[in-house]
Structure 1
Amino acid sequence: MLKIENLTKAFGAVNAVDNVTIEVDRPMMIGVIGASGAGKSTLLRMLNRLETATSGTITVEGQEITGLKSADKRRWQRDCAMIFQQFNLVPRMDVVSNVLHGTLNQRSTLATMFNLYPTADIHRAIDILDRLGIAAHAAKRAEALSGGQQQRVAIARAVMQDPKIVLADEPIASLDPMNAQIVMDDLRRIHDEDGRMVIANLHTLDTARRYCDRVIGMRQGRVVFDGSPEQLTTGVARDIYGADASFSEAATSTSIDALEQKIPQRA
């Protein structure tokens, strides 16, 4: 379904992504982990064509997408939805209109200018919000919602595109543990119920193990681990992050149980 071959992205003399090869034969939920600067975000941005590869190829269902231009590139970006850490919503616009922005690549310039949407699309947007448990906020401005709610609106916008692949670039990095769990639950449901491939950049090992079918570890632009969650041992994690024996998973945990264990209980 997805084949990445010898993919490289150079910024000057530095290879942010360095000769990466990955093959995925079916829709899966994949976590990409690694330290900041490992190349995770650049990899996702090349998949979505927000960045252009320096060399190598990306092929999806037989279509080579690294060379797409103009209308073909926009069609691919409709099929490959992107969810960002900072949500990328229009703050003063209502929630349902933000979700409807997922159809922009399918609409005429005139309809976009006058904010005109078919009734069927409006109903579908509200149905998606309802599925994510936030339909009650449809008429509110996006800026009035909490961070977790805004990220779920961003997920709804991605689903509105009806994509083949959903990319999530550190979707829970700015969220508290409770909202992080809700957002990851939603991403997993999108995979399980819709059969979509989901690729998420993640910072925490417990999240990758709990939600992902496959985990890819990156270090200095290269893939240094590609395996199942069960194979992601603490020793492997040390290698991925370039850490010594003092490395502690608990320090980066997003689980509510782990958080409670780190907070001293009052008598």
Structure 2
Amino acid sequence: MLRIDKLTKRFGANVAVDSATIDVDRSMMVGIIGASGAGKSTLLRMLNRLTDASAGAVHYGEVEITALRGAEKRRWQSDCAMIFQQFNLVPRLDVVSNVLHGTLNRRSTLATLFSLYPEADIHRAIDILERLGIAEHAPKRAEALSGGQQQRVAIARALMQDPKIILADEPIASLDPMNAQVVMDTLRRIHEEDGRMVICNLHTLDTARRYCDRVVGMRQGRIVFDGTPAQLTTGVARDIYGADASFSEAATSTEIRDHAAQPVHA
């Protein structure tokens, strides 16, 4: 389904992603973990074609994504929706207009300039907001919402694209624990109910273990782990993050919490 073959990104002498190879043969929720600077965000940006690869290839089915140009590249970016840590909403626009921006890749420049949306798209945007539990905020400015609500608006915008894959780049990094759980529950539900592949960059081990079917660990641009949440032991986590004392304490406490909790998708 999705094949990443020796994908590499260089910025001058710095190698941000080094020969990453991943093969995802069915729809699942994949978590990518690693310390800051491990290459997680660059990897997702190459999948979405926001950043061009220096070497290697990405295939979705029979299509080589890394070779797409022009309109074909824009179509792929509609099929491969991106959710960002800082939401990337237009703060002064109302919520429903932000969600409708998910249709921009398939609209004419004139229609976009004058914010002309078909009635069917407006109804669909509201239906998606209803599904995510925030329809009552549709007429409000995006900037009036809490961080967790804004991230759900960003998810709604992604769903408006009707994507095959959703890429979430640190979607809960700026949220408090309660809102982080709501956002992760939402992404997991979208995967289960819609059958969409979700690939999510995450910082915390417990989140990856709880929500993901598969976990990929990156360190200094290279993939150093690819397995199930059950295989993500403290020893493996040390290989991903390094053996510094602060991480050791975090890994131990995470392991204790995880033994006491059942995965949401068990």
Paired position in structure 2 for 1:90: 90
- Deviation, structure 1 residue 245: 5.9
Paired position in structure 2 for 1:225: 225
Paired position in structure 2 for 1:10: 10
Paired position in structure 1 for 2:167: 167
Amino acid of the structure 1 residue aligned with 2:37: G
Paired position in structure 2 for 1:248: 249
Please state whether the residue corresponding to 1:248 is helix, strand or coil: helix
Residues 234 and 252, structure 2, Cα contact 8 Å, conserved in 1: no
1:100 aligns with 2:94: no
- Deviation, structure 1 residue 249: 2.5
From the superposition, tell whether residues 54 and 170 of structure 1 become closer, same or farther in structure 2 (CA, over 3 Å): same
Q: Work out the CA distance in 2 between the residues paired with 1:131 and 1:111.
A: 27
1:193 aligns with 2:193: yes
Report % sequence identity. 79
Paired position in structure 1 for 2:264: none
Residues 32 and 217, structure 2, Cα contact 8 Å, conserved in 1: yes
- Structure 2 gaps of 5+ residues are 259-266
Paired position in structure 2 for 1:237: 237
Q: Work out the CA distance in 1 between the residues paired with 2:132 and 2:250.
A: 30
Residues 205 and 251, structure 2, Cα contact 8 Å, conserved in 1: no
Q: Work out the CA distance in 1 between the residues paired with 2:202 and 2:166.
A: 14
- Deviation, structure 1 residue 250: 6.2
Please state whether the residue corresponding to 1:71 is helix, strand or coil: helix
From the superposition, tell whether residues 35 and 52 of structure 1 become closer, same or farther in structure 2 (CA, over 3 Å): same
Paired position in structure 2 for 1:263: none
- Deviation, structure 1 residue 186: 0.4
Q: Work out the CA distance in 2 between the residues paired with 1:229 and 1:153.
A: 29
- Deviation, structure 1 residue 14: 1.1
Paired position in structure 1 for 2:71: 71
- Structure 1 gaps of 5+ residues are 259-267
Paired position in structure 2 for 1:145: 145
From the superposition, tell whether residues 157 and 251 of structure 1 become closer, same or farther in structure 2 (CA, over 3 Å): farther
Q: Work out the CA distance in 2 between the residues paired with 1:27 and 1:248.
A: 34
- Deviation, structure 1 residue 251: 8.8
- Deviation, structure 1 residue 242: 1.1
Question: What TM-score, normalized to structure 2?
Answer: 0.93
- Deviation, structure 1 residue 133: 0.3
Question: What TM-score, normalized to structure 1?
Answer: 0.93
Amino acid of the structure 2 residue aligned with 1:31: G
Residues 28 and 197, structure 1, Cα contact 8 Å, conserved in 2: yes
Q: Work out the CA distance in 1 between the residues paired with 2:251 and 2:99.
A: 36
- Deviation, structure 1 residue 4: 0.5
Paired position in structure 2 for 1:210: 210
